[in-house]
Homo-oligomer: A and B are copies of this chain.
Amino acid sequence: MKKFVYMFAEGNASMRELLGGKGANLAEMTGLGLPVPNGFTVSTEACIAYYDHGRKISDEIQAEVFEYLHKLEAATGKTLGDKNNPLLVSVRSGARASMPGMMDTVLNLGLNNEVVEGLAKLTNNRRFAFDAYRRFIMMFSDVVMEVHKDEFEALMDKAKAAKGVTEDTELDADDLEKVAQASLARYKEIKGEDFPQDPKMQLIEAVEAVFRSWNNPRAIYYRQMHNIPASWGTAVNVQEMVFGNMGEDSGSGVAFSRNPATGENKVYGEFLINAQGEDVVAGVRTPINLEEMKTWNVDIYNQFSDIAKRLEKHYGDMQDLEFTIERSKLFILQTRNGKRTAQAAMRVAVEMVEEGMVSKERALQQIDPRSLDALLHPMFDEAALKKAKPVAKGLPASPGAASGEIVFSAEEARLAKEAGKKVILVRLETSAEDIEGMNLSEGILTARGGMTSHAAVVARGMGKCCVSGCADLTIDEAAGKAYLKDLALNKGDVISIDGTTGQVYAGAIPSVEAHITGYFSTVLNWANETRQMNVRANADTPKDAAKALELGAGGIGLVRTEHMFFEKDRIFEFRQMILAKNEEERRAALAKILPIQRGDFEGIFRAMQGLPVTIRLLDPPLHEFLPHEENEMKELADAMGISLDEIKRVVHGLAEANPMLGMRGCRLAVVFPEIAEMQVEAIISAALNVQKEGIKVYPEIMVPLISVDKELEYLRKIITDKADQLIKEAGQDLHYLVGTMIEIPRAALTSDEIAQHADFFSYGTNDLTQMGYGLSRDDAGRVLDTYYQKGIFENDPTAILDQKGVGRLVKISSQEAREVKPEIHLGICGEHGGEPSSIHLCHDLNFDYVSCSPYRVPIAILAAAQAQIEKPRDYVSVDFREHGRHRIEG
Q: Footprint of B on A, CB under 8 Å?
A: 656-663, 667, 670-671, 705, 707-708, 710-711, 714, 743-746, 749-750, 753, 767, 770-776, 778-780, 782-783, 786-787, 790-793, 802, 804-806, 808-809
Report chain B residues within 8 Å CB of A790: 670, 714
Residue pair A778, B657 in contact (C-beta under 8 Å) = yes
Q: Are A707 and B658 in contact (CB under 8 A)?
A: no
Say how far A764's CB is from chain B's closest CB, in angstroms: 10
Given known A710-B792, A787-B670, A808-B749, contact A657–B657 (CB-CB < 8 A): no
A772/B746 contact (C-beta < 8 A), A657-B660, A667-B783, A670-B786 known: yes
Q: Which chain B residue shows the least CB distance to A775?
A: B661
Choose among B660, B792, B793 the residue that contacts A658 (Cβ–Cβ < 8 A): B660
CA distance A786 to B715 in the complex (A): 13
- Given A774-B767, A792-B714, do A809 and B749 touch, yes or no (CB 8 Å)? yes
A778 touching B658, Cβ below 8 Å: yes
Q: How far is the CB of A185 from chain B (nearest CB, A)?
A: 37
- A671 is contacted by which of B656, B670, B779, B782 (Cβ under 8 Å)? B782
Interface contact A774-B705, CB-CB below 8 Å: yes
Contacts of A772 in B (CB 8 A): 744-746, 749, 771
Q: Which of B657, B705, B786, B802 lies in contact with A746, CB distance below 8 A?
A: B802
Further 20 A-B residue pairs, CB within 8 A, beyond A661-B661, A745-B771, A749-B805: A656-B778, A657-B776, A661-B775, A663-B783, A670-B786, A671-B782, A671-B783, A705-B774, A707-B773, A710-B793, A711-B792, A743-B774, A744-B772, A744-B773, A744-B774, A746-B773, A746-B774, A749-B804, A749-B808, A753-B804
Cα distance A54–B445 in the bound complex, in angstroms: 72
Q: In the bound complex, do residue B809 and residue A657 qualify as a contact, i.e. CB atoms below 8 Å apart?
A: no
List 25 interface pairs A-B (beta carbons < 8 Å), by A numbering: A656-B779, A657-B778, A658-B658, A658-B660, A660-B661, A661-B771, A661-B775, A661-B776, A662-B779, A662-B780, A662-B783, A670-B783, A670-B786, A671-B786, A708-B792, A710-B791, A710-B792, A744-B773, A744-B774, A745-B809, A746-B774, A746-B806, A749-B808, A749-B809, A771-B774
Q: How far is the CA of A773 from the CA of B748 in the complex (A)?
A: 10
In the assembled complex, the Cα of A631 lies from the Cα of B659 at a distance in Å of 28
Chain B residues, CB < 8 A from A774 = 660-661, 705, 707, 743-746, 767, 771
CA gap between A710 and B745 in the complex, in Å: 22
CB distance from A779 to the nearest CB of B (A): 4
Q: From A660, which residue of chain B is reached at the shortest CB distance?
A: B658
B661–A793 CB distance below 8 A? no
- Count copies of this chain in the complex: 2
CB-CB under 8 A from A743, the residues of chain B are 774
Could you say which residues of chain B place their CB within 8 Å of the CB of A671? 782-783, 786
Which residue of chain B lies nearest to A707 when distances are taken between CB atoms in the complex?
B773
Q: How far is B663's CA from A663's CA once the two chains are assembled, in angstroms?
A: 22
Residues in B with CB closer than 8 Å to A708 are 773, 792-793
**In the complex, chain B residues whose CB is within 8 Å of the CB of A714:** 790, 792
A779 lies within 8 A of B658 (CB)? yes
Knowing A707-B773, A774-B767, A790-B670, the reply to whether A663 touches B779 (Cβ < 8 A) is yes
Q: Which residue of B lies closest to A753 (CB)?
A: B804
Q: Within the complex, what minimum Cβ distance (angstroms) separates A787 from chain B? A: 7
> A703 to chain B: closest CB distance in Å?
13
Closest approach, in angstroms, between the C-beta of A620 and any C-beta of chain B?
12
Between A657, A711, A775, A778, the greatest number of chain B beta carbons within 10 A of the residue's beta carbon is seen for: A775
Q: Which residues of B contact A749 (CB under 8 A)?
A: 772, 804-805, 808-809
Please report the C-alpha to C-alpha distance between residue A714 and residue B746 in the assembled complex, in whole angstroms.
Answer: 29
Residue of B nearest to A706 (CB): B774
Alpha-carbon distance between A770 and B658 when the two chains are bound, in angstroms: 11
**B-side contacts of A661, CB under 8 Å:** 658, 660-661, 770-771, 774-776, 779
Which 6 pairs between the two chains have the least Cβ-Cβ distance? A662-B779, A661-B776, A746-B805, A657-B778, A744-B774, A658-B776
